[in-house]
Amino acid sequence: MGGSGTRIALAEDDVLLREGIASLLEAAGYDVVCRAGDAAELLTFVRDSAPELVIIDIRMPPTCTMEGLEAAREIREDHPKAGILLLSAHVEVDHAMELLATGQRVGYLLKHRVASVTEFIETIERILAGDSVVDPALVRELFSARHREDPLEQLTPREREVLALMAEGRSNAGIAHRLWIAEGTVEKHVRSILTRLRLSETEDDHRRVLAVITFLERR
């Protein structure tokens, strides 16, 4: 585990949390090049310096509503190669979905996950590698949001488990490891899930995750 000097811009209005995250990142070998207290400060820095990854609290001053999310949208449009990790104190499904559907190198994480150093750094590494990472709490919220005429009722309990891990951004190998089953078995479950949910099969794990997220959002 190591950041190899990867440049990260951090935007969080809570000073203690911001400094704690920055210290954690620097200890892992990342270069925290910006510690912004609001979205405007972050955007000014990103325009001039284009860091490899931006970590943004969804709710930022002055209104503490959607400033962080709006900044993330602007950064994604102007710097599509930059990784983006959204942080939130609560599960905010509707606000997270639009950005998550824009492409790879993007993630959504609840703030309490930062307390798990290994999990937090793993999330960053996966985003930098091109993955889409979704907090398991968001996945659970999507699964439990609607029940009437739910297409997921077609899935077996095991397929639901596999789909939940797919939506977290896990590869077939990662799913197999988590469920203690063979990777070939996971591949069969994935093919069945894609067929039952009328989703096109693809070799690209990222597109697979986006397909799952898009499908759940439209329900």
Task: Determine the CATH number of domain 7-134.
Answer: 3.40.50.2300
Fold match between 7-134 and 146-218?
A: no
* Confidence band, pLDDT 50/70/90 cuts, at residue 215: low
Rg (CA), the chain: 18
User: 84-88, 135-139, 168-172, 214-218 — which is least confidently predicted?
Assistant: 214-218
Read off the pLDDT of each residue in 18-38 and give the average, rounded to a whole number: 93
Structure-block tokens of residue 113: 């996950």
pLDDT at residue number 70: 87
* Confidence band, pLDDT 50/70/90 cuts, at residue 23: very high
Residue 4 is classified by DSSP as: T
* Confidence band, pLDDT 50/70/90 cuts, at residue 151: low
Read off the pLDDT of each residue in 150-176 and give the average, rounded to a whole number: 82
* Confidence band, pLDDT 50/70/90 cuts, at residue 150: low
What's the chain's length in residues? 219
Res 153 pLDDT > 80: no
Q: What pTM did the predictor assign?
A: 0.65
* Confidence band, pLDDT 50/70/90 cuts, at residue 127: very high
pLDDT at residue number 147: 47
* Residue 30: other Cβ atoms inside 10 A: 23
pLDDT at residue number 206: 53
Mean pLDDT of the chain: 81
- 179-212 pLDDT, tens digit per residue, is 999 999 999 988 887 777 666 555 555 556 655 6
- 63-75 pLDDT, tens digit per residue, is 877 888 889 889 9
pLDDT at residue number 137: 77
pLDDT at residue number 210: 54
Read off the pLDDT of each residue in 40-44 and give the average, rounded to a whole number: 92
Res 126 pLDDT > 80: yes
Domain 146-218 indexed as CATH 1.10.10.10:
yes
- Tokens 């284009």 correspond to 50
d(CA 18, CA 13): 7
* Confidence band, pLDDT 50/70/90 cuts, at residue 135: confident
Domain ranges of the chain: 7-134, 146-218
Pairing of strands 7-11, 53-57: parallel
Res 143 pLDDT > 70: no
Helix residue ranges per DSSP H, the chain = 15-27, 39-49, 67-78, 93-100, 117-128, 136-144, 157-167, 172-179, 183-196, 205-218
